Amino acid sequence: MKPRGFWGTFVTLAAITALPFALLFSLVLSLMRAIGFGQAFRVGIWCGIFFGLLFGFIMAFFMKAVTIFIKLQEREAFLSRLNVALAEMGYHPESQTETFLTFKPSFQAGFLAGKISVQIEQNSVTIVGPNTYIKKLQKRLQ
């Protein structure tokens, strides 16, 4: 499966946030102005669409999936450093095989943090995950 890029992340985040924001905005507007919810929703839906598009666009830069490659020197030492670095970032092992590891985010990592996958080969390691967290991980592993 190919990692989700900028546009896929943008559409997902925009779709997830637009309707809840529109509903909440409409509810607050109807309570503050003492108007019917249906009338407030006509304004709220446009505010929700605008918020969803803006939020999706901004967050897609941080949450899109990226891939990095690291040259592997010693497997056991690298795995030890990787586990410690990811634990410090709030990630914990989810599944593990001989050559493939998956780490899931805890609440500490953040609400929109995604999983990080690690493919171990003979002389290299491929790591895929959210842009922000992969950049942090890359700094910690250097």
Q: Where are the domains of the chain?
A: 6-62, 65-141
Per cent of the chain over pLDDT 90 is 65
pTM for the whole structure:
0.74
Across the chain, what does the average pLDDT equal?
Answer: 90
Model confidence band, residue 52 (pLDDT cutoffs 50, 70, 90):
very high
CATH fold for the domain made of 65-141: TATA-Binding Protein (3.30.310)
Question: Using CA atoms, how far apart are residues 44 and 121, in angstroms rounded to an integer?
Answer: 51
Question: Using CA atoms, how far apart are residues 61 and 3, in angstroms rounded to an integer?
Answer: 14
From 135, 128, 134, select the one nearest 4 (Cα to Cα). 128
For residue 106, pLDDT over 60 is answered with: yes
Mean pLDDT of 68-91: 91
Model confidence band, residue 1 (pLDDT cutoffs 50, 70, 90):
very low
For residue 49, pLDDT over 80 is answered with: yes
Question: Using CA atoms, how far apart are residues 136 and 4, in angstroms rounded to an integer?
Answer: 19
